[in-house]
Amino acid sequence: MLGSQATGGIAFYFIGFLSLVLAAREWGWINFRIPQSNRQTEKFWAHEFGFVAASAMWGFHIGLGLATSVTYGGFWVLVAVILVLAEPVYGSMLMLAYWLGRALPVWVAPKLLLPGWDPMQLPEAISASRFTYRRLAGVALVWWAVAVTLFALRMQGILLSNVMIWQRLWNL
């Protein structure tokens, strides 16, 4: 964990605030660019390692989010949480969950298409619902704000665990 409980608590309060600012961005209340890398994956990987290996390498390279355009601010909230936790295992699990959340819709969507619907139209269909996507992304960011604030309160002893609450009620 990063520093003391007080330092970690303050860091999580900051992440909660960051989450609310990014939610406001997703909802169009404020407008600013988020940090991103506009690098491309290496095309020569397909020639050097074959298409299957190169696809895995591209997926890993892009999937981490650090080597591609990031249009959703929630990625940076995730990175901030991982940095504050300073736990490689938890950070790896969070990044894996993030990657799965990004990859599963791409894998599953073609299987959910109606007969006669062209899979090549999928990117266009996703882009058409960008307004809805950004609204839902804002809701997810508000959830992050609540979750990290509750975590900070718990770290500082302000928020009691359920067990402690029941023990105190039992002793009344």
Maximum distance among all Cα pairs of the chain, rounded to whole angstroms: 72
Q: Please report whether residue 78 resides in a domain.
A: yes
Burial (CB < 10 A; 0-12, 13-18, 19+), residue 31, is exposed
Structurally, how many domains does the chain consist of? Answer: 1
pLDDT attached to residue 171: 65
Q: Please report whether residue 18 resides in a domain.
A: yes
The helix, strand and coil proportions of the chain, stated in percent and rounded to the nearest 5, come to 70, 0, 30
pLDDT attached to residue 164: 59
pLDDT attached to residue 3: 47
Q: Please report whether residue 11 resides in a domain.
A: yes
Q: Please report whether residue 140 resides in a domain.
A: yes
pLDDT attached to residue 92: 83
Q: Please report whether residue 107 resides in a domain.
A: no
Helix (H, G, I), strand (E, B) or coil at 161: coil
pLDDT attached to residue 17: 93
pLDDT attached to residue 6: 52
Q: Please report whether residue 164 resides in a domain.
A: yes
Read off the tokens for 165: 């609450």
Read off the tokens for 88: 């490689």
pLDDT attached to residue 21: 94
DSSP 86: -
Question: Tens digits of per-residue pLDDT, 42-75?
Answer: 777 778 888 777 777 777 777 666 667 777 788 8
Q: Please report whether residue 113 resides in a domain.
A: no
Residue with tokens 């600013």: 32
Calculate the alpha carbon distances from 104 to 20, 77, 97, 107 in Å: 26, 21, 10, 5
pLDDT attached to residue 99: 72
All residue ranges of the chain with pLDDT < 50 are 1-3
**Residue 126 and residue 105: Cα distance in Å, rounded?**
11
Q: Please report whether residue 141 resides in a domain.
A: yes
Q: For residue 113, which of 98, 100, 102, 125 has the smallest C-alpha distance?
A: 125
| Enclosing domain of residue 21 | 1-34+73-84+130-172
